Structures are given as structure tokens and as C-alpha cells.
Amino acid sequence: MRVTILGSGTNLHPTRAAAGYLIQTDRPILLDFGPRTLSNLLKTDVDRHTIQYLLFTHYHADHFSDFLTFFFDAICHSKFSSVRPDLTIYGPPGTKRLFRMMFRTFPNFADTPFRVILKEVKDQSFQIGETRVMPLPMTHTDQQVCLGYRVEHQGRSAAFSGDAMASPNLVSLCRDVDVAILDCSFSSHAPGGSHMHAEECGKVAKKAKAKKLVLSHFYETADRSNVVAQARRFFPGPIVKGKDLLALQVGSKVPT
């Protein structure tokens, strides 16, 4: 399994795209689609028209807005070049209502030349090819369900917190995982609501016995302090500060 960080920042970070990850197992899977992550996807070796599976943690715009460009491009490509394969979109409760409203409202979104399948998930595991995906509700804001996802393939695992505060669910999502990619919106010197700061990320990774911790989803304030050192006060294992287009190899290489 290989995980490429398409976006390690938030909404309007000056140097980082917002939330988004490319997961490559037996097939490519996108997790979240925040602003500027589509541009980073174009810099990878994955043809965007081959992507058939999208996972959304929640629908704050910093995790979602590039979907609109991606989808319009997919429609144009299918009409004027060649029809792309089906697209399956997984997300928390509310996903069907949101996408159906969008498909009805945006010009050209209603009649796609390819099939779009919407699936609402919450805490039941499901299979994408040989890849096992386990969603679990996180603690973020009261207005919506925000999911974390654990992805397993050929005995290797990666956990994505999405936007999350520390919680027992987050610890179980990351239990013994090879790589835990956690919401480190804030420095421990300037914590904020609805997200974790670096020390909390370290504590969660330690409690869960994660093998590696990747910090991501930085606000500018987090970038200005040493978040790795803060997380290290609690987590003894390897810690990586996420950056856009950083590729993390989790276990054996994807056959090419």
C-alpha cells in the first residue's frame, strides 16, 4: 500500500493544499478532496479518469470543494473523449441528500455518461476489491457525522482521522496500525476547538500503539512551531510531518 498526501493543510493555507489523500492498493482510492488537492493529484502517476472510489470523511469545504472540478472534468472527458468507468462515492449519513441536491442543481451534473453510486457508511466495514475499509465516527462538530477511516490491504494498515478530536473511537481506529495520519490542526502552544493539537496526536498514537505517526491538516499557526517535538513528548515511534505529495510506503510495493 502506498499513501500520497495530496493536501496537508487547511482551507486557505498559503503553501499547502487542504485535506486529501491518494491511497494505492490493488486500485487507487481517494480520501477527501479539499481545495488544491486536484492539482496535486495531477502531479502523481495516477490517471484521474481511472479513479473509481472516493471516500469522504465529512463535508466541510476544506475536505470537499475540488470534487466539483473533478466531477465536471469527468463529465466533459466522458462526453468528448472516452467514457470513464463508474464512480462510487462513500461518505457519512447525509451523503445521498447532498450529492443528489448537487446533481440536480449544477449544470450538466444530472445526466452523466458514467454511473455514479452513492453509499452512506457509518461503522460497518466494507470491501473495495482486496482492500478492507473500516469507517468509524469521530468527534469533530455537532452539525454532522465525521468519519475516520482505517484501510487495510495485504496485512498492512493505515488510519486517517479526518477532522477529529481525541476520543476512544479514534484510538480504536488507530489500534496497532502501521501508519496513523492524524489531524494536527494546532500547535500545543495554541490549541483550538474541534481538532487536535500535536501533543494530543502523540498521546493518541501512543495509546493505540501505532507504529508510525504522520501529522497533517496544519493551520498556519501549527506550521510555525515544532509540532514533531511536541508529539514526541508522548509518542516514542517515528513521527513524520506531512507535506504535500509526500508518498508513504506502507508495506510491500504496489505491483506495477
Closest to Zn ion by CB, 141 vs 154, is 141
Closest to Zn ion by CB, 78 vs 139, is 139
Query: 199: number of CA atoms within 13 Å, CB side?
Result: 8
* Minimum separation from the CB atom of position 163 to Zn ion (A): 4
Cα distances from 38 to residues 31, 155, 245, in angstroms, run 12, 29, 11
* Minimum separation from the CB atom of position 63 to Zn ion (A): 5
For Zn ion, which stretch binds (CB under 5 A), given 54-62, 108-116, 227-235, 238-246? 54-62
At 31, list the grid cell: 480520501
CA-CA distance, 245 to 135, in Å (whole number)? 24
H-helix or E-strand spanning residue 160: strand 156-160
Does residue 66 touch Zn ion according to CB under 5 A?
no
For residue 50, give the nearest of 70, 21, 20 by alpha carbon: 70
At 241, list the grid cell: 510531518
Among 4, 9, 62, 138, binds Zn ion (CB under 5 A): 62
Closest to Zn ion by CB, 128 vs 145, is 145
CA-CA distance, 244 to 254, in Å (whole number)? 20
* Minimum separation from the CB atom of position 31 to Zn ion (A): 13
CA-CA distance, 215 to 34, in Å (whole number)? 17
H-helix or E-strand spanning residue 126: strand 126-128
For Zn ion, which stretch binds (CB under 5 A), given 102-110, 156-164, 230-238, 239-247? 156-164
CA-CA distance, 24 to 34, in Å (whole number)? 18
Closest to Zn ion by CB, 62 vs 66, is 62
Does residue 163 touch Zn ion according to CB under 5 A?
yes
For Zn ion, which stretch binds (CB under 5 A), given 35-43, 72-80, 83-91, 157-165? 157-165
Stretch 108-147 residues interacting with Zn ion (CB under 5 A): none
* Minimum separation from the CB atom of position 185 to Zn ion (A): 7
Number of residues that bind Zn ion (CB under 5 A): 3
CB contact at 8 A, 46 and 29? no
Does residue 36 touch Zn ion according to CB under 5 A?
no
Closest to Zn ion by CB, 152 vs 163, is 163
Closest to Zn ion by CB, 53 vs 218, is 218
Cα distances from 66 to residues 6, 24, 120, 204, 218, in angstroms, run 12, 20, 20, 30, 18
* Number of separate helices (H) and strands (E) present in the chain: 7, 14
Positions in the binding site for Zn ion (CB under 5 A): 60, 62, 163
